[in-house]
Structure 1
Amino acid sequence: MALLDEVKRELSEIDGEMVLAQKAQVTSMLRFGGGLRKSDRNIIVQAQFDSLDAAQWLQRAIKNLYGHDAMLTAVERQTPTGPVRRYMVIVERGGVALALQTGLLDRRKHQAVAGLPQELTAGNIAQIKAIWRGAFLAHGGLSDPGKASYLEIICPTDETALALTSVARRLGISAKPRQLRSSRRVTLKDPDAIERMLILMGAPRSAREWTGKRSDGEARGKANRLANFDDANMRRSAKAAAEACEKVRRAFEILGDDVPENLRAAGQLRLDHDDASLEELGRLADPPITKDAVAGRIRRLLQLADKVAKASQDADPEA
């Protein structure tokens, strides 16, 4: 089971919440999962979910809290990545009453509320948590461990995005609304904030799993970066050693027998051990010398060859 499905299952299993919090969750699930639809002077309340557990929770809550029967139907549609199943909760009879009871329909103006009912956003902390829980169950997403961290909720209107951002601040969490193509979203990207929000919504088990897998992924990523770094260093070292060998061969060709013995020995070590480091060459010398001494002797060998080559060219410009 995907981690997102596990989170929604855990949230759907929450029991024993106070009635006000349960009602806040119902309103939030309906608002973010669908909303109100007019039909022949009637109002149909409906919401769609990708989680059967969430849809079943809402169906039971509507009956237990408000006394209305809700239908639950499965809907399958084709997408570019294959068939996708969604679960629709629909209240036809008593839709107007439920819309008024949940605050989705303004009693004075008798029109749909654009954001969330003010009595909910100004409610207690249990209600605020329930708002986020309901919104996440309806239209929430969570990054897979090992990828760029995010927790986000797709919002039906700008007003719902602003309301969700505002109530997140009451929980001490900074959430940012953003527009992505045609959808409005409220997003958390800080891993610590994501973990805290999962716990506040009521999914501590999933929060621990998400954090643990994310830490494992980061550790693997760091190991891969270090391995790539070491590999790059080895390639650079091999290239530098090959270039040094080529320069030493050229110096020996230019100088012939006129090479001081200590410089010749250092150059020959380089040719004989083309994949060794300067420190290793120093240990192979007889007697052993430091890597700085090896580097200095090879440098003087190349400088001497360049000097002889330049003098030869100056003496015979047409050579």
Structure 2
Amino acid sequence: MALLDDVKSELAAIDNELPAARKAQATSMIRFGGGLRLVQRQIIVQAQFDSLDAAQWLQNAIRDLYGHEATMTQVSRPTPSGAVVQRYVIQVDRGGAALALQTGLLDRRKHLVLGLPAEIINGNIAQVKAAWRGAFLAHGALSDPGKASFLEVTCPCNEAALALAGAARRLGITAKPRQLRSSERITLKDPDAIERMLILMGAPHSAREWTGKRSDGEARGKANRLANFDDANMRRSAKAAAEASEKVRRAFEILGDDIPDNLKAAGQLRLDHGDASLEELGRLADPPITKDAIAGRIRRLLQLADKTEKARAQKATQDKPQSSTQAAAEPDAQPAE
């Protein structure tokens, strides 16, 4: 949230814009911050902001550009989490209809303009940038570094979202309207597009900070994923080494002293260095050999043990019936008394 506040403070501090761009920003802030209300047949202009700097900018712009006095009211509102947030409401009671006509939010026939006035959408690039700046100051959000990237503006209606999407296209950026929880939103998700939009709106310092923190977060995430991957590999390697050591120990018990020297040496290395990798075992051999060679010798040792054990079992199976037949024939061989 602190970074979002910094972005809005940087945008609200811009004071070198021409009157046409300042008017486009003021109109956009009114449209996306609230709009027009009809109270007892009187049009009231009202807009709400979460940034004090943004609210003060609009209050000054309404006075300097259009000659109307606007009041600012601070409102405290609880959030679902129990926290209390501050909101700043800018309102023009007297002269609201005149201001609406001046900003273009009412057309000449006094019909409400639901999106943005055509003179802004079709205006120069400075006006288009200012319209996006005003919309973001009114109801914009920016993702925290390290989380899924997004820049988003909540729109009062579908027409306003379409107008903002058209303005983004004129800036060379694709922004798609979407509906979320019964509200219309315009969203950017590509990090490069977000950085570019922040710069175009007039917040280059915040853009660099956001990009830097996002890159740091991605680097930390990648490092954590690699560390977890390495840990998993180490656990698998340790498990495989322990299983191999147990098989070698069993092979030694089966074969006894009847083991070729090269296979015995390889097996003994596995027993003596239970946590070592095959490559490390190869380096420990005398003379050193490759990991494929040490793996092959251990494999032949285990195969020899399996072959020997099967041969013994087969021999035992063949000898067992012969012994039983001899035992059954022995009483018949005794002389009768």
- Alignment TM class, shorter chain as reference: over 0.9
Q: Give deviations 1:11-33, integer Å, cap 9, x for gaps.
A: 00001211111111111000000
Of the structure 1 ranges 91-100 and 223-232, higher mean CA displacement relative to structure 2 is found in: 223-232
User: Counterpart amino acid of 2:71?
Assistant: M
Question: How far has the Cα of 1:70 moved from its partner?
Answer: 0.3
Q: Which amino acid aligns with 2:217?
A: G
Equivalent residue number for residue 199 of structure 1: 199
Question: What are the equivalent positions in structure 2 for 1:109-120 lying under 5 Å apart?
Answer: 110-120=110-120
Question: Are the structure 2 counterparts of residues 20 and 284 from structure 1 closer, same or farther at C-alpha, using a change threshold of 3 Å?
Answer: same
Q: Deviations over 1:23-74 (max 9, x none)?
A: 1111100000000111011011100000000000000000011111100000
Give how far 1:290 is off: 2.4
Identity of aligned residues (%): 77
Q: Given residue 210 of structure 1, which amino acid in structure 2 is its aligned partner?
A: W
Query: Counterpart of 1:12?
Result: 12
Q: Which residue of 1 aligns with 2:324?
A: none
CA distance in 2 between counterparts of 1:15 and 1:98 reads 21
Q: Distance in 2 between matches of 1:69 and 1:253?
A: 98
1:159 aligns with 2:159: yes
User: What's the counterpart of residue 315 of structure 1?
Assistant: 315
What does residue 88 of structure 1 align with?
89
Structure 2: which 5+ residue stretches go unaligned?
321-337
1:206-235 Cα distance to aligned partner (Å, 9 max, x none): 111111111222222222222222222211
Which runs of structure 2 are paired with 1:1-319 in the superposition (5 Å)? Answer: 2-81=2-81, 82-108=83-109, 110-317=110-317
Using the alignment, how far apart are the partners of 1:312 and 1:131 within structure 2? 89
1:268-287 Cα offsets, whole Å, 9 max, x none, are 11011001111221222233
Instruction: Give 1:257 deviation, angstroms.
Output: 2.4
Q: Aligned residues, how many? A: 318
One-letter code aligned to 1:102: T
Cα distance in 1, alignment partners of residues 269 and 16 from structure 2: 79
Q: Provide the TM-score with structure 1 as the length reference.
A: 0.96
Higher Rg: 2
Q: Distance in 2 between matches of 1:125 and 1:279?
A: 63
- CA distance in 2 between counterparts of 1:213 and 1:258 reads 65
Q: CA deviation at 1:317?
A: 4.7
Query: What is the aligned-residue RMSD (CA, Å)?
Result: 1.5
Distance 1:287 1:23 in 2: 84
Give the gaps of 5 or more residues in structure 1: none
Q: 1:86 aligns to what SS in structure 2?
A: strand
Shift of 1:289: 2.4
User: Mean Cα displacement is larger for which, 130-139 or 206-215?
Assistant: 206-215
Q: TM-score, normalised by structure 2?
A: 0.91
